[in-house]
Amino acid sequence: VDVENYPGLLDMTGPGVVQLMQKQAKSFGTLFEEDSVVEVDLSSHPFVVRTNHSTINTHSLIIATGADSRWLGVPGEHKLRGGGVSTCATCDGFLFRDKPVVVVGGGDTAMEDALVLARTSSSVTLIHRRDSFRASHALAQRVLNHPTITVRWNTSVVEFKGTEVPIEYDDDEEEVDMDQEPIYRSVRKSVMVSVREDT
């Protein structure tokens, strides 16, 4: 995915930005250890971080938990997770090459996922519950001008049924079955900011 909203970066992808940040951190002596953290002791300094293979003592600790998907909560969604319903276009989109797909949302993530899927899918239908996007103007314009992306405004998904997605229009409440093949995307994300007390 292209990074278009970070100051000073032109023609960069997300992985490219990550590589540059890691290279810069290494130049200052940062050590990288890829392992799973199994326990953290924050009761005294230095903090103690235990992984599967080592114990790290540190005076500073940044907990970067990433983002979690916010699901729609409609019938059929949970049952079809991993079997047609997904939240990661870059992870799963290739599985549905040359097939029609649906993206749900109106923010930057939905726009980015629709654009990623438009590279390999036969068509992308973007379902949004409002009459305008919350996404950045640049991303929204790319989606609106893309020849294989169709937007269904003022529309909500009411259920996932395998290869059908019943939807309703906010203005007339009419339910319409969209005969599409998977993949159906609930792409809204929420940042994970809580830390479990028992870890």
d(CA 20, CA 24): 6
Is 179 marked active-site? no
170 is catalytic: no
Find the catalytic residue in 35, 41, 68, 88: 88
State the DSSP code for 38: E
Known active-site residue 88: yes
Cis peptide before 46 (omega within 30 of 0): yes
Question: Of the residues 11, 91, 98, 179, which is catalytic?
Answer: 91
CB 190 within 8 A of CB 68: yes
For 21, 32, 121, 139, 151, the CA distances from 10, given in Å and listed in that order, are 15, 27, 27, 15, 28
- Least Cα distance to 74 among 177, 133, 161, 173 occurs for 161
Catalytic residues: 88, 91-92
